[in-house]
């Protein structure tokens, strides 16, 4: 079995690569990519939650207890909680995972049980998708994939470590095939794990359906309301036409065309009479 440090080292390396990949491939901000990489790193020790003693379970539970309230912060924010209320809501979550989960796991799990299985790997990713509520569907899906990837790195390492190589050749240890598996020998554990996975799958499907519905409803909600007329409507003034004097209204006309026509006979006499009239 690969040790705690091997698991965390490999999953951290995978996480770093994954963070770089989502940043360059999907254009996620560095901070979000780093969170996805960090989740992948932590997920690399999650399957050993079922080991009853020692560093793996203790460290894993400690990490999980710290990370889950952080992932829930955005969801709390959506409920309209203040910062103090968010901290208060995070405390019981932390206490439950830190002190309650360990006891429960000790009671109900056996090492290399269904925690080391493909459905558990899928369940971890889907749970992360459901818990982390910040960012769009793509960001949440990428975080979920990060966790499943870290989880998978653990299972693969455990399988690799089950091959014993020595001078006379290689042989499979009895632990071979107990990490990358679909079912265990315990029917109740199988039913529990598969049941939870199917439930989570339905929840993920529902979330996607809701998101689609919201996307459909968005165009109707973004109708621009008619502008409310202000109390004193401003009258837009028509521009006053300006006339530019034309130097020569009849360019190229013959000189006699421009001649002032002579006054008709008697017109000048009438003008004179009018001007001289006493008033």
Residues in contact with Zn ion by CB under 5 A are 47-48, 158
Q: What is the dihedral of CA 213, 218, 219, 225, to 10 degrees?
A: 150
Rounded CA-CA distance 143/33 in Å is: 9
Helix axis angle for 54-78 and 118-131, nearest 10°, is 30
Spatial CA neighbour of 40 closest among 62, 21, 53, 55: 21
CB of 67 or CB of 158, closer to Zn ion: 158
CB of 134 or CB of 175, closer to Zn ion: 175
Beta pairing partners, 169:
166
Smallest gap from Cβ 190 to Zn ion, in A, equals 18
CB of 48 or CB of 119, closer to Zn ion: 48
CB of 58 or CB of 75, closer to Zn ion: 58
Rounded CA-CA distance 250/202 in Å is: 87
Smallest gap from Cβ 1 to Zn ion, in A, equals 6
Smallest gap from Cβ 20 to Zn ion, in A, equals 26
Label residue 83 left, alpha or beta by phi (over 0 means left) and psi (-120 to 50 means alpha).
alpha
Smallest gap from Cβ 3 to Zn ion, in A, equals 10
**Residue pointed to by tokens 């006339």:** 243
Smallest gap from Cβ 154 to Zn ion, in A, equals 6
Q: Coil, strand, or helix at residue 181?
A: coil
Spatial CA neighbour of 62 closest among 98, 101, 9, 95: 98
Smallest gap from Cβ 18 to Zn ion, in A, equals 20
CB of 67 or CB of 121, closer to Zn ion: 121
Smallest gap from Cβ 216 to Zn ion, in A, equals 44
CB of 45 or CB of 65, closer to Zn ion: 45
Asked if 43 contacts 148 with a C-beta cutoff of 8 angstroms, the reply is yes
- Say which residues have a Cβ less than 8 Å from residue 250's Cβ, sequence separation at least 6: 257, 258
Beta pairing partners, 166:
169
CB of 95 or CB of 163, closer to Zn ion: 163
């Amino acid at each position: 079995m690969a040790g705690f440090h091997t698991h965390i080292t490999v999953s951290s390396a995978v996480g770093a690569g994954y963070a770089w990949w989502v940043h360059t491939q999907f254009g996620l901000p560095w901070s979000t990519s780093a969170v996805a990489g960090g989740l992948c790193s932590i997920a690399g020790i999650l399957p050993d939650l079922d080991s009853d003693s020692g560093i793996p379970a203790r460290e894993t539970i400690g990490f999980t207890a710290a990370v889950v309230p952080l992932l829930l912060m955005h969801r709390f924010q959506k409920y309209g909680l203040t910062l103090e209320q968010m901290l208060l809501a995070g405390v019981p979550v932390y206490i439950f995972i830190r002190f309650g989960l360990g006891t429960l796991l000790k009671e109900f799990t056996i090492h290399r049980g269904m925690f080391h299985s493909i459905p558990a790997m899928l369940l971890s990713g889907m749970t992360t998708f459901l818990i982390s509520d910040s960012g769009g569907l793509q960001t949440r899906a990428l975080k979920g994939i990060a966790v499943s990837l870290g989880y998978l790195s653990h299972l693969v390492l455990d399988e690799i470590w089950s091959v014993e190589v020595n001078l006379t050749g290689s042989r499979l240890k009895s632990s071979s095939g107990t990490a990358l598996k679909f079912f265990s020998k315990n029917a109740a554990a199988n039913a529990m794990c598969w049941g939870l996975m199917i439930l989570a799958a339905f929840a993920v499907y529902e979330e996607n359906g809701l998101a689609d519905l919201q996307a459909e409803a968005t165009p109707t909600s973004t109708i621009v309301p008619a502008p409310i007329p202000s109390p004193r409507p401003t009258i837009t003034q028509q521009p006053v036409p300006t006339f530019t004097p034309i130097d020569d209204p009849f360019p190229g006309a013959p000189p006699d065309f421009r001649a002032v026509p002579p006054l008709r006979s008697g017109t000048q006499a009438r003008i004179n009479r009018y001007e001289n009239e006493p008033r």
